[in-house]
């Protein structure tokens, strides 16, 4: 009997290596990453309180600090695809990649060159038991304030702030939308929007 397996459910247990396929723009290496997050209460879709949110940080391969998963954006993938791939390889999680949090220019800690980094939010749907870099990285769920404290890169901290602002903004938008719909249902009488 032959069993067919969807590519979606298969994770290669080897990380991509080398820089032959890496993207560069004006001499700057292009890197992408994600801030994996989850709500402590499942089925939640907006952030009511920062205590309800957890983010996943990973240990650095080259140092003692913690960071969010990131790596090179390659020629055969979109930014979002690369960000998801790097997150699966380094943190062993996958989920829904949201819209770009921003673009940062920063100097490499190990090379005397500048990089351009793009970060995306990733709402975690699955935490893998096995992933490519599980033997060289530790992953830890923590609060936003803890992650801000241990993250070694200023630009990743800024991306985290943007994620929190976006998630709290969704809550406000949700309330405003409910208020507008309520007013429309009541023929706009006594509405103060």
Give the pairing of strands 53-59 and 139-142. Answer: antiparallel
Q: What pLDDT is recorded for position 111? A: 76
pLDDT at 132: 96
Question: Once rounded to an integer, what is the mean pLDDT over residues 35-50?
Answer: 74
Say yes or no to pLDDT of 41 above 90: no
CATH number at 24-40+48-187: 3.90.79.10
pLDDT over 90 at 17, yes or no: no
Nearest by Cα to 90 from 67, 110, 120? 67
- What sections of 121-153 are H helices per DSSP? 144-150
pLDDT value at 119 more than 90 = yes
Instruction: Give the pLDDT of residue 11.
Output: 54
Question: Would you say residue 72 has pLDDT above 50?
Answer: yes
As a whole number of angstroms, the distance between CA 23 and CA 20 comes to 9
Report which of residues 44 and 107 the model is more confident about.
107
The residue behind tokens 């309330």 is 175
100 phi and psi, to 5 degrees?
-50, 135
Give every CB contact of residue 152 below 8 A, 6+ residues apart in sequence.
60, 63, 65, 66, 67
In this structure, what token pair is assigned to residue 84? 């998801």
Residue bearing tokens 């954006």: 73
Strands of the chain (E only): list them: 24-25, 28-39, 53-59, 66-67, 70-72, 93-97, 102-107, 114-127, 139-142
Question: Given this model, what pLDDT does residue 87 score?
Answer: 98
Q: Give me the pLDDT at residue 179, please.
A: 47
Burial class (CB in 10 A: 0-12, 13-18, 19+), 155: middle
Mean pLDDT of 134-140: 95
pLDDT reported for residue 43? 59
Name every residue whose Cβ is closer than 8 Å to that of residue 90 and which is 6 or more positions away in sequence. Answer: 15, 58, 69, 70, 71, 131, 132, 133, 137
């Amino acid at each position: 009997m032959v069993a067919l397996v969807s590519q979606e459910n298969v994770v290669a247990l080897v990380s991509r290596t080398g820089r032959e396929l890496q993207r560069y723009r004006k001499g700057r290496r292009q890197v992408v990453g994600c801030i994996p997050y989850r709500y402590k209460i499942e089925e939640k879709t907006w952030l009511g309180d920062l205590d309800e949110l957890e983010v996943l940080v990973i240990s650095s391969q080259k140092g003692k600090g913690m960071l969010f998963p990131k790596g090179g954006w390659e020629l055969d993938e979109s930014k979002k695809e690369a960000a998801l791939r790097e997150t699966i390889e380094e943190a062993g999680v996958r989920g829904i990649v949201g819209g770009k949090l921003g673009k940062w220019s920063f100097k490499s800690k190990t090379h005397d060159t500048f990089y351009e980094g793009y970060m995306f939010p990733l709402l975690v749907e699955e935490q893998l038991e096995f992933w490519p870099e599980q033997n060289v990285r530790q992953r830890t769920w923590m609060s936003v304030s803890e992650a801000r404290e241990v993250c070694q890169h200023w630009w990743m901290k800024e991306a985290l702030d943007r994620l929190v602002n976006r998630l709290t903004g969704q809550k406000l938008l949700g309330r405003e939308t409910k208020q507008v719909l309520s007013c429309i249902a009541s023929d706009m009488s006594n509405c103060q929007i």
